[in-house]
């Protein structure tokens, strides 16, 4: 990953990428939306760590947050764009799955993922 190449695959409606200690699935839509891999700025991601725990986040770029707040200023949402809030939000500087995977890799390596990402609730038996 650190060499600028991103190897991933499509499965179950997600674009999957494997990193050290985790696998991430990005909800980009479908394989037809492959161009979004490099440009995505707003995406749900599902992370499975090597310990079997599952986590989720909605990843936004700073530019996407700005765009949304500008749109809401016009539509009146979120007090006319006065604030941005997302319960599972993770804001990153750069667009694209590769940049997002680098951030996730750092979170997993430092164990900050357990604080920043949301755990996927287990179904009651």
Closest CA to 33 of 43, 23, 24: 43
The strand pair at 54-61 and 89-92 is best described as: parallel
In a domain, 2, yes or no: no
Domain span at residue 16 reads 10-119
The two tokens of residue 89 are: 């939000």
**pLDDT of 5 above 80:** no
88-97 pLDDT, tens digit per residue, is: 999 999 999 9
13-23 pLDDT, tens digit per residue, is: 899 999 999 99
pLDDT score at 29: 73
Total domains in the fold of the chain? 1
Task: Indicate the DSSP class of residue 61.
Answer: E
Task: Read off the pTM.
Answer: 0.87
pLDDT score at 123: 55
17-65 pLDDT, tens digit per residue, is: 999 999 999 999 765 655 678 899 999 999 999 999 999 999 999 999 9
Closest CA to 89 of 41, 124, 36: 41
In a domain, 66, yes or no: yes
pLDDT score at 57: 97
């Amino acid at each position: 990953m650190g060499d600028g190449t991103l190897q991933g695959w499509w499965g179950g409606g997600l674009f999957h990428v494997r990193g050290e200690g985790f696998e991430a699935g990005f909800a980009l839509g479908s394989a037809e939306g492959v161009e979004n891999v490099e440009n995505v700025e707003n995406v749900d991601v599902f992370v499975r760590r090597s310990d079997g725990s599952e986590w989720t986040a909605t990843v936004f770029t700073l530019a996407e947050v700005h765009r949304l707040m500008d749109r809401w200023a016009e539509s009146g949402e979120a007090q006319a764009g006065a604030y941005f809030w997302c319960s599972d939000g993770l804001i990153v500087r750069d667009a694209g799955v590769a940049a997002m995977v680098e951030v996730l890799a750092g979170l997993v390596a430092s164990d900050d993922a357990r604080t920043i990402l949301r755990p996927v609730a287990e179904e009651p038996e």
